[in-house]
Amino acid sequence: MGKTFKVCVCCSGGGGNFQALIDSQKSVGFTITKLIVDRDCKALERARDNDIPRIVLEKSRLQRSFFEAFDREVPEDTDLIVLAGFMPVIPQDICAKYHMKMINTHPSLLPAYGGKGMYGVRVQEAVLTNHEEFAGCSVHFVSPVVDGGELILQHKIRTRKNETAWDLGGRVFLAENALLPQAIGKIMRERGYLDV
């Protein structure tokens, strides 16, 4: 393997997907070079515990200048930006600048149950309300349309009788933890960083 594949991760919460990425760096072959968060959250602890550079950009304080600061903080040599539970909606100019260089996870089998307002337990509540046989998760490139970017990978899981939205959400989240590193590996192979 030649050049290092450098990943900048963005989070807003506990950082479960971030931890999955930390744990898979060596096996997949990428390096996390920075964590960007928009609030104080557990993901910061995970970065500190693993000596990963990190910064808090408080969206509530920065408001309109948030994405200008975000853009300045993404390392110039970044190969991929991973939104792992990052809540701010990415504006069109940032989507254009990082076209096909920014990915996101979503807790449904997109295009079903995607779009603005569909996140977290709301997605699984909708899946169960509609008596879907399958739930799942998706990793996709970020586009100006919320959850509308090109799909990279999906994982399907069967729903269970009498399952709560929280229980289903927990199972989908575990699937996301496995799917996200796989998606990065797929991108790396397609871009010539890994042998096929």
Phi-psi region of 8 (alpha: psi -120 to 50; beta: other; left: phi over 0): beta
Does residue 149 carry a pLDDT above 90? yes
Which domains does the chain carry?
5-190 (3.40.50.170)
Q: Is the pLDDT of residue 178 over 70?
A: yes
* DSSP-derived pairing of the beta strands 151-158 and 80-83: unpaired
Residue 127 pLDDT > 90: yes
For residue 62, what pLDDT is reported? 83
Residue 20 pLDDT > 50: yes
Kindly write down the DSSP assignment for every residue of the chain, as one continuous string.
--S-EEEEEEESS--HHHHHHHHHIIIIIEEEEEEEESSS-HHHHHHHHTT--EEE--HHHHGGGHHHHHHHHS-TT-SEEEESS--SPPPHHHHHHTTTSEEEEESSSTTTT-STT--THHHHHHHHHTT-SEEEEEEEE--SSTT-SPEEEEEEEE--TT--HHHHHHHHHHHHHHHHHHHHHHHHHHTTSS--
pTM over 0.75: yes
Active site residue 140: no
pLDDT in tens, 85-123: 998 999 999 999 999 999 999 999 999 999 988 998 999
Residues constituting the chain: 196
pLDDT above 80 (res 1): no
Given this model, what pLDDT does residue 2 score? 61
Distance from chain centroid for Cα 96: 18
pLDDT average, residue stretch 3-18: 94
The pLDDT of residue 193 is above 50: yes
Query: How many Cβ atoms sit within 10 Å of the Cβ of residue 41?
Result: 18
Task: Pick the catalytic residue from 106, 131, 140, 155.
Answer: 106
Q: Which two tokens stand for residue 57?
A: 């950009």
Task: Name the average pLDDT for the chain.
Answer: 94
Tokens matching residue 2: 């030649």
Reported as a single tens digit per residue, the pLDDT across 58-70 is: 988 888 889 999 9
Decide which of 135 and 194 is more confident: 135
Query: Residue 173 phi/psi, 5° resolution?
Result: -65, -40
As a whole number, mean pLDDT of residues 130-148 equals 96
- Identity of the residue numbered 129: T
**Res. 146: pLDDT tops 50:** yes
pLDDT band of residue 55 (cuts 50, 70, 90) is very high
Task: Read off the amino acid at residue 104.
Answer: N
